[in-house]
Structure 1
Amino acid sequence: MSQFIFLLTLCGALLLSGCAKHKSYDYTAFRASKPASILVLPAENSTPDINAANSFISGVTKPLAEAGYYVFPVAVVDETFKHNGLTNAHDVRTVSLAKLRDIFNADAVLYIDVSQYGSKYRVVDSMTEVAASAKLVDLRNGSTLWQGTSFASDQNNNSNNSLLGIVVGAVVKHVANNITDESHKIALRAADLLFATNDQGGLLPGPRRHLSGG
């Protein structure tokens, strides 16, 4: 009986600790700011793949627009920076918030870091992963309005019984992913998930959400 009571107590403690780790996101600054337009900066790329940043950024505009925000065209933003001698994400991040506000007249700026991108070949599987984090900052006062992370992969459970079957399947999958650019597909999925689900909280709807029927 005492062991049963101990187990119940332990389960209760685990449940409480689990709840403590998943506090609701504090949107106080976000609601006070009420951003309507978002400037998406070129993403920082900490992966070996040179295509990672551009691939991920290409999937960001759509979910933001569908959420109800005006998003400055990524290509136009990129050309603007290049015209001013800023050719990479690191240099762009040295531009002050006041200067970004002066050039684009946006309400907020989105900083993105891509930390994983591409296919990994392992002994018994081949997996394509994309991971990124983002921070939305108010260009008018510098306050952080929202932060989020996302992760997407094509991992599946192998149903082959033999080790040879598993290895062959992994090789075939790895080759197919490279041919079909599976990483880009996963990047688009991760970009979508960034604003919908993450460890802290999703992005709140913007003022144009009702215009898109959302």
Structure 2
Amino acid sequence: MKKLICSSLFVMFALTGCVAKQDLSYLEPLHDRQLRSLLIAPVKNETIDVMAPTSVLATLPFSLAEKGYYTFPVNTVKVLLEGEGYYEPAEVHAAPPESLASLFGADAILYVTIHEWTSEYILLATTTKVDFEYKIVDNSGQLLWQARKELAYSPQQQNSTGNPLADLVAMAITAAIERAAPNYLPLTRMANGQVFSGPQTGLPPGPYSPIYGEYYKKVAEQSVNPAAN
């Protein structure tokens, strides 16, 4: 809970002047709507790894729950969408958001597209990379928020024993393990966390967040007295 509150306070601190002043105009559409429920659309995959969408989709509900939003169960969403004739993520992303939101009574839809999901092996190093695009559209079809995040992870660079030969062997082993079974999930969780809670992209707290009331009290105060920001 302490970790959740600390990560959620970032945007509020920015609003109250506890950190360097920055442009938070991107939050205005989200403040106006004060979303409660989000429909997570099936993840669109532009890579050759067929398991990538499943891995990304598995991390999104938890990441959004940490922010205080209700998300519809992804398996139920999949079954209901297939019942409506939507079998491919690309079809869902191309469908009218008003129609999709009305099927579930959702306030908005989160669309995620995977642009990169690779693990590159060069000499004694393996680097795992992800590139995700995020977009939230409300139930009237209005774009409320969008972000993109690229991250890379090279496990063989994490530790050093001070012994060059031992480090070389360790790097080779670590790189081989990562190449054989790339560890995408931690990188995906990190990408979600940085997008949903980071500077210039962080979402405001949802209604199930412990700081929701205090946050929107500050928003209301600043709308009455902008000079206080």
Same fold (TM over 0.5): yes
Which amino acid in 2 is paired with 1:145? Answer: L
- Superposed CA RMSD: 2.9
Assess if the C-alpha contact under 8 Å between 1:177 and 1:183 holds in 2. no
Q: Which residue of 2 aligns with 1:204?
A: 204
Q: Which residue of 1 aligns with 2:153?
A: 154
- The CA deviation at 1:209 is 0.8
Q: Which residue of 2 aligns with 1:14?
A: none
In the alignment, the residues of structure 2 paired with residue 90 and residue 182 of structure 1 have an alpha-carbon distance, to the nearest angstrom, of 26
Q: Which residue of 2 aligns with 1:15?
A: none
Q: Which residue of 2 aligns with 1:176?
A: 177
> Secondary structure of 1:192's partner?
helix
Q: Which residue of 1 aligns with 2:106?
A: 106
In the alignment, the residues of structure 2 paired with residue 148 and residue 173 of structure 1 have an alpha-carbon distance, to the nearest angstrom, of 32
Cα separation, partners in 2 of 1:169 and 1:120, compared to 1, 3 Å? farther
Q: Which residue of 1 aligns with 2:68?
A: 68
Q: Which residue of 1 aligns with 2:144?
A: 145
In the alignment, the residues of structure 1 paired with residue 104 and residue 131 of structure 2 have an alpha-carbon distance, to the nearest angstrom, of 28
> Secondary structure of 2:82's partner?
helix
- The CA deviation at 1:192 is 2.6
Cα separation, partners in 2 of 1:133 and 1:163, compared to 1, 3 Å? farther
Range that drifts further, 43-52 or 146-155? 146-155
In the alignment, the residues of structure 2 paired with residue 211 and residue 196 of structure 1 have an alpha-carbon distance, to the nearest angstrom, of 14
Consecutive unaligned residues in structure 1, runs of 5 or more: 1-18
In the alignment, the residues of structure 2 paired with residue 99 and residue 65 of structure 1 have an alpha-carbon distance, to the nearest angstrom, of 24
Trace 1:1-214 onto structure 2 (pairs within 5 A).
Answer: 23-139=23-139, 141-155=140-154, 156=157, 159=160, 166=168, 169-197=170-198, 200-210=200-210
In the alignment, the residues of structure 1 paired with residue 77 and residue 100 of structure 2 have an alpha-carbon distance, to the nearest angstrom, of 11
- The CA deviation at 1:39 is 0.4
In the alignment, the residues of structure 1 paired with residue 182 and residue 203 of structure 2 have an alpha-carbon distance, to the nearest angstrom, of 28
> Secondary structure of 2:59's partner?
coil
In the alignment, the residues of structure 1 paired with residue 115 and residue 133 of structure 2 have an alpha-carbon distance, to the nearest angstrom, of 8
- The CA deviation at 1:56 is 0.9
In the alignment, the residues of structure 1 paired with residue 35 and residue 105 of structure 2 have an alpha-carbon distance, to the nearest angstrom, of 12
Cα separation, partners in 2 of 1:118 and 1:171, compared to 1, 3 Å? farther
> Secondary structure of 2:24's partner?
coil
TM-score of the superposition, structure 2-length normalised?
Answer: 0.72
Assess if the C-alpha contact under 8 Å between 2:205 and 2:211 holds in 1. no
The structure where helix makes up a greater share of residues is 2
In the alignment, the residues of structure 1 paired with residue 48 and residue 111 of structure 2 have an alpha-carbon distance, to the nearest angstrom, of 20
Consecutive unaligned residues in structure 2, runs of 5 or more: 1-19, 215-229
| Structure 1 runs, 4 residues or longer, greater than 6 Å off | 160-165
Assess if the C-alpha contact under 8 Å between 2:195 and 2:201 holds in 1. no
> Secondary structure of 1:26's partner?
helix
Range that drifts further, 84-93 or 69-78? 84-93
Cα separation, partners in 2 of 1:138 and 1:125, compared to 1, 3 Å? same
- The CA deviation at 1:206 is 0.8
Q: Percent identity?
A: 27
Of structures 1 and 2, the larger Rg is shown by 1
Number of residue-to-residue matches in the alignment: 190
Assess if the C-alpha contact under 8 Å between 1:148 and 1:195 holds in 2. no
